[in-house]
Amino acid sequence: MKHRYVCARRVGVLALLTIMGIAAVAESPSALPEPAKKTIDFAQDIHSILAERCAECHMKGKAKGGFSMDTRDSFLKGSEDGPTVIEGNSAESELIKLVAGLDPDAVMPPKGERLSEEQVALLRAWIDQGVKWYDAASAEAAYKPSLNLANVELPPANETAGITNPVDRFINGYFEANKVAWPTPVSDAVFARRVYLDTIGLLPPPEELDAFVADTAADKYEKLAANLLGDNLGYAENWMTFWNDHLRNDFSGTGYIDGGRKQITQWLFDALYQNMPYDQFATQLINPTPESEGFVNGIVWRGVTAAAMRPSIQAASTVSQVFLGVNLKCASCHDSFIDHWKLVDSYGMASVFSDEPLELVRCDVAQGKQAQIKFLWDEAGTIDPSRTKTGRQAQLARIITSEGDGFFTRAIMNRIWAKFMGRGFIEPLDKIENEPWNSEMLDWLSRDLINNGYNLKHTMSLLLASRAYRLPSVSTPEDAKEKYVFTGPEVRRMN
């Protein structure tokens, strides 16, 4: 009969992990899953396991049994009984032994849903790969972008090499710094197919393609991009898809207590057809007209079944994500586990769109505190709580679209670059405070947009006419370990 004694250290760790609600997937060492054969991303692969099982007792300042998971250092330190993991050695880590149930007398937990083999494999690979962690404080210390755009000088042109487009002038210096030789551009036929699809969503007609390929003018790339962007109908029809996705302009019909949502389709089409300046475009969505109000009024999903499903919370989350590149979804329920945004930030923004004061609700538990109206970055400006809802929305729109809010123009530049090049300056697109691979070009393009009246077609024409846009497509593995270096547009799917 197997010895039933469990050492004091294991008992201590077991008690600490009870909150995790994780059961064993195995009852013998031979059944222990092999580590996952992939590069582990803490935010995508591990965070959800820890957040769902451990946060109540071991995160956000809580350290039951002396065990805190707020930082990598505290996690590696372990509990009062000692370390729970051995960095680089998952097979000998106490955490893995417990959650995998190698000892039938110390299965974690005694009852409840068991951890899947895939989850154990992810945890093993994470530990073997060095327990890499997303530490918001460390990330901020390493790189903290300014709210204001930098004043960047445009690099010199090289007429002899044909480096005259502003984008290419930045890329030229970037290539030199990263020891990358300019690849040979794609054929004119490939470029034409690419630019037609990106602007009006259609393939080039054979006769137009033949004429473009036969054209020997040096400025034919600029002319083709300008002509296609000048097709207002084709442009509007194609870019409706892009904006419908971002603005969530697709929910309607049965299944919603309020009958769905008011569509903004006609307003959106007209705005694209007329090439409405981007600051006005955002203003009319944040502080809406009767034609555009369906965006911030949100959706009542079969009623407000959870605090985070309120239309005002949805409005704050979507406005922040679309126009600022900030994901507040986690912070809509609780302080985020993977970045610095907090519940008060989400509710501060949501209060702008609420008809009545909002009480802070954490994970559907009322906190007994009233949310204070605020913008995400205090230095950008304040919102007067004494104003009406309409007045607050107007003030928020002015703050977001002001020249002092660099994240507004950075966010749209990042999205357009990603649309044409397959990957943004900043990844993910909704983590605008992450470090860009070329911050100078991003800020120059953002300021150039302002200087040209927030004309998105102007910026698109720079990108589409650049030599960088005509480079051969590349494929960067999702699990690439090396620092990203731009060498050409990423392979991407058609919309």
Q: Which of 122-131, 165-174, 386-395 has the lowest mean pLDDT?
A: 122-131
Rounded CA separation 452/449 (Å):
5
Which residue pairs from 270-273 have beta carbons closer than 8 angstroms and sit at least 24 positions apart in sequence? 272/235, 272/236, 272/239, 272/240, 272/243, 273/232, 273/233, 273/235, 273/236
pLDDT tens digits, residue range 215-242? 999 999 999 999 999 999 999 999 999 9
Q: Residue 367: which pLDDT band, with cuts at 50, 70 and 90?
A: very high
Handedness of CA 5, 9, 14, 15 (dihedral sign): positive
Strand extents, DSSP E, 272-362: 359-362
As a whole number, mean pLDDT of residues 129-158 equals 80
Q: At what angle do helices 456-464 and 439-451 cross, to 10 degrees?
A: 130
Q: At what angle do helices 456-464 and 406-421 cross, to 10 degrees?
A: 40
As a whole number, mean pLDDT of residues 397-414 equals 98
**Whole-prediction pTM value?**
0.77
- Contact between 370 and 360 under an 8 Å Cβ cutoff? The reply is yes
As a whole number, mean pLDDT of residues 114-125 equals 84
Q: Which residue has the tokens 């697709």?
A: 250
As a whole number, mean pLDDT of residues 188-206 equals 98
As a whole number, mean pLDDT of residues 331-352 equals 91
Q: What is the pLDDT of residue 109?
A: 59
Residue 174, pLDDT > 70, answer yes
Residue 9, pLDDT > 70, answer no
Which residue pairs from 483-488 have beta carbons closer than 8 angstroms and sit at least 24 positions apart in sequence? 484/423, 484/427, 484/437, 485/178, 485/180, 485/437, 486/171, 486/174, 486/421, 486/423, 486/437, 486/438, 487/180, 487/183, 488/183
Most confident of 295-309, 372-386, 472-486: 372-386
- Mean pLDDT across the chain: 86
* Cα three-residue angle 183-188-194, rounded to 5 degrees: 85
- Contact between 194 and 187 under an 8 Å Cβ cutoff? The reply is no
